[in-house]
Structure 1
């Protein structure tokens, strides 16, 4: 890191000065090296987005603790003020998942409730990595110029950083959309029924505070096998079972919760399983997630054979590909009764 580089240069400078005995040559070496140090610092300033902090032993590449000094590369801070929506949907998505973003824009992200501003849909990205990262970043900028719906933060986007993306999402919602009633986090492979979701949320029985819903998991066992993708060691989370939490595929919360979750998260060690981490925060807040009125409307494993009537009655269903999402949505919205 740049801090190690600084220490190495300072050691070298001390050595140069001592051996030159403050000669003119030593002063010149000192000034030259000082200039190089300053140049390196300003060309590569340290920031959380590129530091790889290991929270547990198998964290893998790019994992960082929640950064307090992140910045948005792409932002739309006036979206909620412009539209005054009832619901804001944030879709965390990998930078390279261009087809998934286009599929959503062609389908449920283009619902008339979205077009008229009752619902706002935005995509949340980190930085691309790999050999083609510069080319991909240029395409992301062009995509945002065209659609005006990308939020991008300056840390590497990876599976291990999903919790960070979620916390940044909550920060954005807290700061940008305080007057909105509800916020939803939706995965990019979900076929979402915007109208069905709004009907559910606007029911008189739905509270406007301390409310979070989705497909709630109870009694999910903490994985202790180091070879498992979801392994969490004892020193990170000692309990054998996670508290209840809504699955990350799609959960919805009242707009008072982003600030409350952010505040209590300062006391809770982060884990990379983002929906389980939300559960840890909710437990500390003494807020229980609630299942939706109709559990059958949130589906992780849909039937293998497509059925128009079945899908028309769901709110959130997992799909296998962007093409499948487009195909199902198009068929559901054909003229005539679905059942």
Structure 2
């Protein structure tokens, strides 16, 4: 057993011991509270035993605290990265502990820091575009503008879209405009990645890039920046679509739907609508939102972020009302909050079965050819399905 390492943070002494408990438990971190930091409250000592064994309950309780074996059970352990372990002591005191983690732990734990600031989004803010396509809408006067939010390093996803539905004949004729929206890369290879993004844009002229860090927690920023760009540069298009990079999209089917008599031209937003979606209160859950950030038990109806379509009057209206609503990081739920304030209800498409977030495990050409939007597992699958449903021959 290695010698304990003691660190003092505020009035808390943390004793870290790296050892092994049987074969199932890797590092043990013992947090010893030696003083009172809340009026009248003595804080309990805690022990976190972080192991890969899939037990979802507390298995041991002793004088020094708890052993927790599964991320679902770890209410005090919040986030692990290369050299830091963040822990909640009591109800509102956050400390971090520095130590070396095993590689399996870095890969396994993807929990979030339990800090209110992590659940708010820095918006409104004056973001600006590093890469822009100022003349695209003016040149093509598109009926439909498709924006694909995508991470800078997902080059294969962008390439797959360009060679499939992003190269549809309606796109080639200018009836439909397809653009990719990126934030800034981060990490040690960010400069090289940014240089690659610039080269890619020089070749394709289809990238929008704004100066926020591209991350999961900034998806709401990405969506709001998208609405800003649409409002400023494409006000004369009829509809806008936000579509994820893993979606196989049938543009001709989508255009047929939008030109049907059942689709409105104003105050209209559609997609796979979620109703009565419960707000997650488990800190270990990736979608956790504290009461202090959003006090209600369910979200208002909202279109699932995989693919939603809105009439072009809505981007400006959503931006205006968003100034009154504190953003949360769950971007599609936040769109629902804005729609609720506008008294505009999202509606399911004429045929909701054409928008599929969980497709069957088997592939059927007949089934996929009749969909409008469906999630795929990877770019190769997207390309394979597209080639199959667009090749000559009977679909069913």
Confirm or deny a common fold (TM above 0.5): yes
CA–CA distance in 2 between the matches of 1:229 and 1:276?
14
Which of these residues, 92, 101, 112, is aligned with residue 149 of structure 2? 92
Q: Are 1:333 and 2:394 matched, yes or no?
A: no
For residue 57 of structure 1, what is the aligned residue in structure 2?
115
Higher strand share: 2
Q: Shift of the alpha carbon at 1:199?
A: 0.3
Q: 1:64 to 1:278 in 2, by over 3 A?
A: closer
- Give the match's secondary structure for 1:283: helix
CA–CA distance in 1 between the matches of 2:262 and 2:340?
23
For residue 178 of structure 1, what is the aligned residue in structure 2?
235
Q: Are 1:124 and 2:197 matched, yes or no?
A: no
What are the residue-to-residue correspondences of 1:253-264 with 2, within 5 Å?
Answer: 253-264=310-321
For residue 219 of structure 1, what is the aligned residue in structure 2?
276
Which of these residues, 196, 203, 206, is aligned with residue 149 of structure 1? 206
CA–CA distance in 1 between the matches of 2:377 and 2:153?
17
Q: Which structure 2 residue ranges, 5 or more long, are not aligned?
A: 1-111
- Give the match's secondary structure for 1:214: strand
Q: Which has the higher contact order (CA 8 A, sep 6+)?
A: 1
Which of these residues, 266, 280, 303, is aligned with residue 337 of structure 2? 280
Q: Shift of the alpha carbon at 1:55?
A: 12
Deviations 1:2-28 (A, max 9, x none): xxxxxxxxxxxxxxxxxxxxxxxxxxx
Cα RMSD after superposing both structures: 1.6
CA–CA distance in 2 between the matches of 1:159 and 1:103?
22
Q: 1:59 to 1:249 in 2, by over 3 A?
A: farther
Higher helix share: 1
- Give the match's secondary structure for 2:334: helix
CA–CA distance in 2 between the matches of 1:122 and 1:168?
13
Q: Which structure 1 residue ranges, 5 or more long, are not aligned?
A: 1-53
For residue 166 of structure 2, what is the aligned residue in structure 1?
109
Which of these residues, 235, 238, 259, is aligned with residue 202 of structure 1? 259
Q: What count of residue pairs does the alignment treat as equivalent?
A: 285
Q: Shift of the alpha carbon at 1:59?
A: 5.5
Deviations 1:60-81 (A, max 9, x none): 59x7511422110000011111
For residue 230 of structure 1, what is the aligned residue in structure 2?
287
- Give the match's secondary structure for 1:121: strand
CA–CA distance in 2 between the matches of 1:247 and 1:151?
23
- Give the match's secondary structure for 2:156: helix
CA–CA distance in 1 between the matches of 2:161 and 2:181?
13
CA–CA distance in 2 between the matches of 1:263 and 1:299?
31
CA–CA distance in 2 between the matches of 1:260 and 1:67?
14
CA–CA distance in 2 between the matches of 1:69 and 1:250?
26
Q: Shift of the alpha carbon at 1:156?
A: 0.6
For residue 355 of structure 2, what is the aligned residue in structure 1?
298
Deviations 1:84-110 (A, max 9, x none): 000000000000000000000010000
For residue 140 of structure 2, what is the aligned residue in structure 1?
83
User: So what's the TM-score if we normalise by structure 2?
Assistant: 0.70
Q: Are 1:266 and 2:323 matched, yes or no?
A: yes
